[in-house]
Amino acid sequence: MHTDLVAALDIGGTKIAGALVDADGRLLLRAQRPTPAHEDGDTVMRAAESVLAELTGSPLWERTVAVGIGSAGPVDASTGTVSPVNIPGWRDFPLVDRVRAVTGGLDVTLVGDGVAMTAAEHWLGAARGHDNALCMVVSTGVGGGLVLGGALHPGPTGNAGHLGHISVDLDGDACPCGARGCVERIASGPNIARRALDNGWRPGPDGDTSAAAVASAARSGDPVATASFERAARALAAGIAATATLVEIDIAVVGGGVAGAGDVLFTPLRRALRDYATLSFVQRLTVAPALMGTDAGLVGAAAAASARRAGEAAALLK
Amino acid sequence: MHTDLVAALDIGGTKIAGALVDADGRLLLRAQRPTPAHEDGDTVMRAAESVLAELTGSPLWERTVAVGIGSAGPVDASTGTVSPVNIPGWRDFPLVDRVRAVTGGLDVTLVGDGVAMTAAEHWLGAARGHDNALCMVVSTGVGGGLVLGGALHPGPTGNAGHLGHISVDLDGDACPCGARGCVERIASGPNIARRALDNGWRPGPDGDTSAAAVASAARSGDPVATASFERAARALAAGIAATATLVEIDIAVVGGGVAGAGDVLFTPLRRALRDYATLSFVQRLTVAPALMGTDAGLVGAAAAASARRAGEAAALLK
């Protein structure tokens, strides 16, 4: 059977990936280019166009009915523009128009990468079957997205769920975003590593000072490495509890490189959540590792496009 | 013209108020009893029933099609029960069933009081015309509610938007809820007054140590009183910015007794919001005083009931 396909684009500071995604979330065709992140905007766009050309050139393209884009943020779905922090050549860049121009005028949906990951985890991953969920990526940065009332909640600009930049320590360290004590400033991989080094942890003979190396040290019982993960876990717990208290979620799904630390992160995270999620209606909240891996961006971009089409169809029937 | 009416019930620790509300939000008939807050659950219920008897005994009752309840929280709309902190006789009290029993089996909608106030401000007050809004009450406690995508977002249990108990200071003072550094622990009226007293502010000859007296001193230039309001403003700003970053709101409406301080609160609040609401998609956020006054609970309970009926009608048409 030849069902409809959705073209997905996943735009990050390191690579631009594309795929044709079927109704079961399978990637039938993939393409990828490195992101020329420090070139001018048109050069970056040519890399994206080159990915799209591989998709539109395929015999599968005739079954493609929509395009979904998940992009490093901030994005602005209301204007169809993106301004990714790590791609300085794109500021208010009209990505939606430019993609529409090379994809035959198909409907294009734009969301932030945290929202895309959330769409993927809700469709086929750890948040499946949960009507109210927070999904988050903890790695170089901390991003996220929300499912509310059974549907993806991208918000008007496609950035909702951006947990990394809520302040959980209003007098805390200055964050590059301009605020203080943001979740990302405490819980991202580089901040976990920095805090361990500042407090006297030293890497092994390989000189690896990544958060993964700190996790490994914590697993071997290093108290400073353990404390750095515990601090990250407290910040994440405060942020997750705030989200649950504000919008009532019943699961928080955590992915990204830092989640790869496993119990070193999840054990103190679950413990700290009991300290911060105290009101009766948030106490049943559970935490689970993400399941969708590195394809989450592509699968989620496709899911976000499909969700918008379904939403618009339902609205027409009203 | 004889349009449909909704019966509204507003349950607080001090009084139980009721009204019949028309489609324009007018209160056609009112009733009220003091809450026997320290009596057993059935005695409290008899006060509520007495309010309802005044409504059902009216000739207007035959036009009444639904009942809306806004109650001090926590509530559980999923089970129809309430456990108001200030009414110890009600723990998992089956309020919805009890109200339905004395109102002829009409459909009963239950939400928290912060959600009710939000429904009122969205319908007829300061959040009117805003599709994404946070409304909050800052008084003895700090509560709130959310409008998302043009509709009230009570959440599955009717408690969403409970801004008072998100932590903005994860190492801060212990809060009675069990967490630390909650917005309420810093910004409620009693905490504003306590902090001013702790830092050396002294009341005038009338001995008034309320937050209103602290506001009055701040207006006269007292630096300790001013600093206590500024601290409250920072906590509120961090909480409002967190909400905007998580769900994308474009207005925060602030009501309750502490909002009565006017510029003493709103000027530092708007300033602090610029410090914490830094990402591009939250920078357009505005802050406005609430407009609905003490009837917000009744008007909002009616609005929440009407919103649910409209939502169910729309779902039937899908």
On whether both B175 and B220 belong to a single domain, the answer is yes
Contact assignment for A278 to B242 by CB distance below 8 Å: no
On whether both B232 and B87 belong to a single domain, the answer is no
Rounded to whole angstroms, how far apart are CA atoms A134 and A183? Answer: 15
Domain end, chosen from A84, A111, A138, is at A111
On whether both A143 and A285 belong to a single domain, the answer is yes
- For chain A, give the number of residues: 318
| Confidence at A280, pLDDT banded by 50, 70, 90 | confident
Q: What is the pLDDT of residues B72-93, one digit of tens each?
A: 989 999 999 999 988 999 999 9
Residue B182, beta-bridge partner list: B167
On whether both A132 and A276 belong to a single domain, the answer is yes
The minimal CB distance from A167 to the residues B241, B248, B280 is found for B241
- Say yes or no: A315 contacts chain B, CB-CB below 8 A: no
**Smallest CA–CA distance from B157 into chain A, residue:** A281
On whether both B283 and B135 belong to a single domain, the answer is yes
Contact assignment for B159 to A242 by CB distance below 8 Å: no
Interface subset of B 99-138, CB within 8 angstroms of A: 131-132
**What is the per-residue pLDDT for B1?**
56
Q: What is the mean pLDDT of residues A11-16?
A: 94
Yes or no: say if B25 and B45 are a contact pair by the CB < 8 Å rule: no
Please tell me the total count of domains within chain B.
2
On whether both B153 and B222 belong to a single domain, the answer is yes
- Say yes or no: A227 contacts chain B, CB-CB below 8 A: no
Which chain A residues are closer than 8 Å to B280 by Cβ?
A: 74, 76, 83
Q: Which of B197, B191, B196 is nearest to B164 (CA)?
A: B191
Contact assignment for A170 to B278 by CB distance below 8 Å: no
Q: What is the pLDDT of residues A34-57, one digit of tens each?
A: 999 999 999 999 999 999 999 999
Residue A76 included in any domain: yes
What are B185's two structure tokens? 């622990």
Q: What is the pLDDT of residues B101-149, one digit of tens each?
A: 999 999 999 999 999 999 999 999 999 999 999 999 999 999 999 999 9
Residue B121 included in any domain: no
**What is the per-residue pLDDT for B315?**
66
Contact assignment for A162 to B238 by CB distance below 8 Å: no
**What is the per-residue pLDDT for A317?**
61
Residue B303 included in any domain: no
Residue B206 included in any domain: yes
Contact assignment for B279 to A318 by CB distance below 8 Å: no
On whether both A203 and A259 belong to a single domain, the answer is yes
On whether both A143 and A279 belong to a single domain, the answer is yes
Q: Which of B149, B144, B154, B155 is nearest to B121 (CA)?
A: B144
Q: Please give the residue range of the domain that contains residue B36.
A: 5-111
On whether both A102 and A138 belong to a single domain, the answer is no
Q: What is the mean pLDDT of residues A299-304?
A: 97
Q: What is the pLDDT of residues A105-125, one digit of tens each?
A: 999 999 999 999 999 999 999
DSSP-H helix ranges across chain B: 41-56, 95-101, 113-124, 183-187, 189-198, 211-219, 223-247, 263-276, 296-317
Based on the number of CB atoms within 10 Å of its own CB, is A136 exposed (0-12), middle (13-18) or buried (19 or more)?
Answer: buried
Residue B282 included in any domain: yes
Q: What is the pLDDT of residues B18-74, one digit of tens each?
A: 999 999 999 999 999 999 999 999 999 999 999 999 999 999 999 999 999 999 989
Yes or no: say if B70 and B9 are a contact pair by the CB < 8 Å rule: yes
Write the CA distances from A47 to A56, A57, A87, A291, B121, integer angstroms: 14, 15, 13, 29, 48
Which chain B residues are closer than 8 Å to A180 by Cβ?
A: 275-276
Based on the number of CB atoms within 10 Å of its own CB, is B54 exposed (0-12), middle (13-18) or buried (19 or more)?
Answer: middle
**What is the per-residue pLDDT for A30?**
98
| Confidence at B318, pLDDT banded by 50, 70, 90 | low
| Confidence at B257, pLDDT banded by 50, 70, 90 | very high
Q: Where are the beta strands (DSSP E) in B115-183?
A: 133-138, 142-148, 151-152
* ipTM of the complex as predicted: 0.94
State the pairing for strand pair B133-138/B251-255. Answer: parallel
**What is the per-residue pLDDT for B85?**
86
On whether both A155 and A69 belong to a single domain, the answer is no
Per-chain mean pLDDT for chain A: 95
Helix axes B113-124 and B296-317, enclosed angle (nearest 10)? 80
CATH of the domain at A286: 3.30.420.40
Residue A211 included in any domain: yes
Please compute, for residue B82, the number of CA atoms within 13 A of its CA located in the half-sphere on the CB side: 29
| Confidence at B311, pLDDT banded by 50, 70, 90 | confident
Q: What is the pLDDT of residues B274-305, one digit of tens each?
A: 999 999 899 889 999 999 998 999 999 999 99
Residue A302 included in any domain: no
Q: What is the pLDDT of residues A122-158, one digit of tens each?
A: 999 999 999 999 999 999 999 999 999 999 999 999 9
Which chain B residues are closer than 8 Å to A238 by Cβ?
A: 167, 170
Residue A313 included in any domain: no
On whether both B102 and B155 belong to a single domain, the answer is no
Q: Residue B313: pLDDT above 80?
A: no
Q: Say how many CB pairs under 8 Å bridge A and B.
A: 148
Q: What is the pLDDT of residues B143-178, one digit of tens each?
A: 999 999 999 999 999 999 999 999 999 999 999 999
SS3 B225: helix
Yes or no: say if A95 and A71 are a contact pair by the CB < 8 Å rule: yes
Contact assignment for B165 to A280 by CB distance below 8 Å: no
Q: How far is B259 from chain A (nearest CA, A)?
A: 21
Which chain B residues are closer than 8 Å to A155 by Cβ?
A: 132, 247-248, 281
